[in-house]
Amino acid sequence: MYNQLNIQRNYMKAFIIDRYKPKDGMQMAEVADPVPGENDVLIRVHAAGVNLLDSKIETGEFKAMLPYKFPLIMGHDVAGVVIKAGTRVKKFKAGDQVYARPADLRIGTFAQLIAIHEADVALMPGSLSMEEAASIPLVGLTAWQALVEKANLKKGQKVFIQAGSGGVGTFAIQLAKHLGATVAATTSAANIEMVESLGADVVIDYRTQDFETVLKDYDVVLNSQDAKTLEKSLRILKPGGKLISISGPPDVAFARKVGLNLMLKIIMFLLSFATKRKARRLGVDYSFLFMEANGSQLSKITDLINSGFIRPVVDKTFPFAQANDALTYVESGRAKGKAVITLPDYV
């Protein structure tokens, strides 16, 4: 239960950065409570998922595309309880258990409270704990937007998912199997059994096997690795196949979608030119995906979880005070699924 004193306090604890590439990582600070707008819900944060995207934001990798202001509260995944709804909010009320990936420029889940537009929020799957729910939004929406929206993955098609034991990979494998695809994935030998248990039909130990010699005539590749892996992935696609990358290079279509200026559009064109040219020569399609907040899609993911088609994979939880340790753990690449930060009712 949340008492009135807690709800009305003016300051909260949050992990912030005051510059890109901060020397000592994120800092815990007291900041003003968020003030929800008329279309927002104010959420008491119970758990927050940790993503590699948090590290990339911290180092300034997307500063040209996402002009954040400092001090910046970090964090892209949240599960919690609505404690206040804006005057125009129709879908949610105080007491609802919800989860979300806040929109870009409105991130800030490494905090006790966050205000999020109702369009970006969904009711939590009833079968999940707060920690499990917090692990889902960013990776779930990434997989959904890649495989359902961009790839239009169909029953009987073949899809190759890189880093099958990672956050996106563990979700994408399950979603692809639900869609009826044959799934190939890479992982280390230690994680083969886990990746197979999620539904992967072909599992490749990336340390001892070259996937290019094993896979052929695939319909879709979900690329999350380096440029060398991307180039090899293009060659395993059948004519007309699609490679969707969440690790770059960004392309002009992405620049246009997010409304970047002409100079940045030119930069995106140059960054993706070589990859686009190789794809055209092979008769396949390349596109870049930077996932977007979407409560409607998250509600569809909720239905899949409630129906038992997809389960969360949480590797490790960290108390709120150890948020920097959680981010370091994710950066190490050792996480099997997701790492999650937990918050008590008050810190």
- Taking the C-alpha atoms of residue 67 and residue 168, their distance in angstroms, rounded to an integer, is 25
Mean pLDDT across the stretch 118-140? 98
Mean pLDDT across the stretch 195-204? 98
- Which residues have a Cβ under 8 Å from the Cβ of 270 and sit 6 or more positions away? none
**Hey, what CATH topology would domain 138-288 get?**
Rossmann fold (3.40.50)
- Which residues have a Cβ under 8 Å from the Cβ of 327 and sit 6 or more positions away? 25, 26, 50, 54, 55, 58
pLDDT tens track for 167-183: 999 999 999 999 999 99
Q: Is the pLDDT of residue 3 over 60?
A: no
Average confidence score pLDDT of the chain: 94
Q: Is the pLDDT of residue 347 over 90?
A: no
- Taking the C-alpha atoms of residue 207 and residue 300, their distance in angstroms, rounded to an integer, is 36
Mean pLDDT across the stretch 331-343? 95
Q: Is the pLDDT of residue 332 over 90?
A: yes
Q: From residue 117, give the alpha-carbon distance in Å to each of 13, 124, 126, 253, 302.
A: 21, 16, 22, 26, 18
Question: Quick one: how far is CA 292 from the chain centroid?
Answer: 9
CATH number of 4-136+312-342: 3.90.180.10
Residue 34 · residue 23 · CB < 8 Å: no
DSSP code for 222: E
Mean pLDDT across the stretch 8-31? 92
pLDDT tens track for 232-269: 999 999 999 999 999 989 988 888 887 888 999 999 89
Mean pLDDT across the stretch 25-48? 97
Q: Would you list the domain boundaries of the chain?
A: 4-136+312-342, 138-288
Q: pTM for the complete prediction?
A: 0.94
pLDDT tens track for 48-96: 999 999 999 999 998 988 889 999 999 999 999 999 999 999 999 999 9
- Taking the C-alpha atoms of residue 103 and residue 76, their distance in angstroms, rounded to an integer, is 8
Element (H, E) at 286: strand 285-288
